[in-house]
Structure 1
Amino acid sequence: MKSHLFVPAFFLFSIVSVSCNNSAVQNEATSTAQPEKSLSGQSAVQDDDSQKDVVKVAIGSADHTTLVKAIQAASLVDVLSNAGPFTVFAPTNAAFDKLPAGTVDNLLKPENKESLANILQYHVYVGGLKTDMMTDGQVLGQANGDKITISVKDGKVMLNGKATIVASVPASNGIIHVIDEVLLPPTK
């Protein structure tokens, strides 16, 4: 009796095995016929349906073109496109214009990439913080290792007693707080 079950089982196994092998050959032929795309970081992921990440939100803002150029020059696009969450304090173009003449152009030079990255990382807190979670005197450790101090007076939130949060924009990987001044890390 057992030998009668063995023959159909062997036959079925042979059909499945041949079918899988043919499928594998077809998949291999299909994959070799199509050139592979080069791999990029998270920023290269095409997704037009989901909420935009902090970088894509900044790219879409006419008021943040200087910040976007700086993020690109410092090679931080992929880092800020990752899952996060990030709280990004995003200076406007007008905020960058308040810096001494030539400062931005100088920071955008390749030889100043490290200094630029340090300044930009001083604008990033790893974690999601809405303004209603910020309290007067609160100290935040920023991505570059330095700290900023928050002050809240009459509903207005300021950073280091200088930059005011003028708007907040949610993103898929955190939140962007638009600020009216560039934050400069303490000199060491």
Structure 2
Amino acid sequence: MKAIIKFFLLTILIAGISACRNSSEAEEEDISASTEQASEERQGQAFVKDDVSEPTVLDIAIQSEDHSTLVAAVQTAELENALVNAGPLMVFAPTDEAFEALPEGTVDDLLKPENKNKLSLILKHHVTPGKYDKEFLKKFKKLGQASDLSVPVEVKGEDVYVGGAKIIASVPAGNGIVHVVDKVIIPEN
């Protein structure tokens, strides 16, 4: 009788292992197929769909009609993932009008693949660690940027200028704050 019970338990165990193995193989095939599909798409935190959390600084720029040039530049420089990290980040976001004020052909030239490093440096020059509102920024003389350079902070009346760009609006984000500025902040180097 014990032999029959052992045989029966052994049979169930083997069937269970076989079922798990088949299920695991099917999952591996599904994972492999989805991995191949995902590798064709851009990857990283910036490309995860999230309808629950507060918008990130990148989400705010994408949703703004006045920042399509900035978004195109961020995408060209492949910096999306940096703008969705935990932060906090302050992004000084030039409007499309600010980009249009640059010398003719500058934006088109920066968006060329061979100028990706230069574009990346300029964009990083618009990002500061922290989450300070315009009023608090008045206490600073300069800010250290993600470009490893610093920019001066000037107060003129109630207006705050960062790297010569005037803050014209501010929008809080889940991972920081977006300060809309009227000028592109170009590193001096």
Fold match (TM-score > 0.5): yes
Give the aligned partner of residue 91 of structure 2.
Answer: 88
- Confirm or deny: 8 A CA contact 1:146 1:186 kept in the other structure: no
Summarize the Cα distance change of 1:22–1:170 in structure 2 as closer, same or farther, 3 Å threshold. farther
% identity of equivalent residues: 42
Give the aligned partner of residue 178 of structure 2.
Answer: 176
- SS in structure 2 opposite 1:36? helix
Summarize the Cα distance change of 1:151–1:27 in structure 2 as closer, same or farther, 3 Å threshold. farther
Q: 2: CA distance between counterparts of 1:25 and 1:19?
A: 10
- SS in structure 1 opposite 2:71? helix
Give the aligned partner of residue 114 of structure 2.
Answer: 111
Q: 2: CA distance between counterparts of 1:46 and 1:23?
A: 34
Name which of 142, 147, 151 aligns with 2:145.
142
Q: 2: CA distance between counterparts of 1:145 and 1:129?
A: 19
For 1:3-152, list aligned pairs within 5 A. Answer: 21=17, 24-25=20-21, 27-29=23-25, 31-32=27-28, 34=30, 35-37=33-35, 38=38, 40-152=43-155
Query: How many positions carry a matched residue from both structures?
Result: 177
CA RMSD of aligned residues (A): 2.6
Q: Which amino acid aligns with 1:184?
A: I
Summarize the Cα distance change of 1:153–1:27 in structure 2 as closer, same or farther, 3 Å threshold. farther
- Confirm or deny: 8 A CA contact 1:128 1:174 kept in the other structure: yes
In structure 2, stretches of 5+ residues that fail to align are: 1-9
Deviation per residue, 1:139-170 (Å, 9 max, x gap): 1110011111112232211113x211011111
Give the CA deviation at 1:32. 3.4
When normalised by structure 2's length, the TM-score is 0.82
Q: 1: CA distance between counterparts of 2:162 and 2:86?
A: 25
- Confirm or deny: 8 A CA contact 1:136 1:151 kept in the other structure: no
When normalised by structure 1's length, the TM-score is 0.82
Q: 1: CA distance between counterparts of 2:25 and 2:141?
A: 60
